[in-house]
Amino acid sequence: MKENQNPIEELNDLSSILAALKTTSSAPIFKTPLFYFDTLQDKVFEKLEGKPIIVVTKSPTWAVRLQQWFWQPSTAWAFSTMIMMMMVATFWFQKSTQKAAATFALHEEVHHYIANNLDEFDEELLAEYHHLQDSKHVKANLTIEELEHYLNAFMD
């Protein structure tokens, strides 16, 4: 900017389009009537007076209300925690049930093998087996005579 240049000349130097806007439009584009904003509030209240305000709202359906309730953070956390616990419990119980079934099948297989091949076993071996198994029907500390009596009763 030159030292003695006025602002209008400087505006012409920088942008002739902006300088032309100022010269072509000397009257304001938008005019409001005199004292418009002073009387605006009274005019609005005159129009509202005596007319009831009716607000129509549509009540949400049960599905929308359920969805809104479900997406609350506390509900979502509780539901997801419950699902995870159910999945872990199902996996854990299924695994333990399979293990118990396999153990039961193995014990049944051993008992059937012993019952079918009873004449091939030695009494001391059977006594040791029943001592290890801690059977409900046979006491762990059987004598050989008691074991023979039990085996004879079992075979009949």
Q: What is the pLDDT of residues 99-144, one digit of tens each?
A: 777 777 777 887 788 778 777 767 777 677 666 665 545 455 667 7
In three-state form (DSSP H/G/I as H, E/B as E, the rest C), the secondary structure along 6-60 is CHHHHHHHHCHHHHHHHHHCCCCCCCCCCCHHHHHHHHHHHHHCCCCCCCCCCCC
* Nearest to 152, CA basis, from 109, 125, 123, 113: 123
Q: pTM above 0.75?
A: no
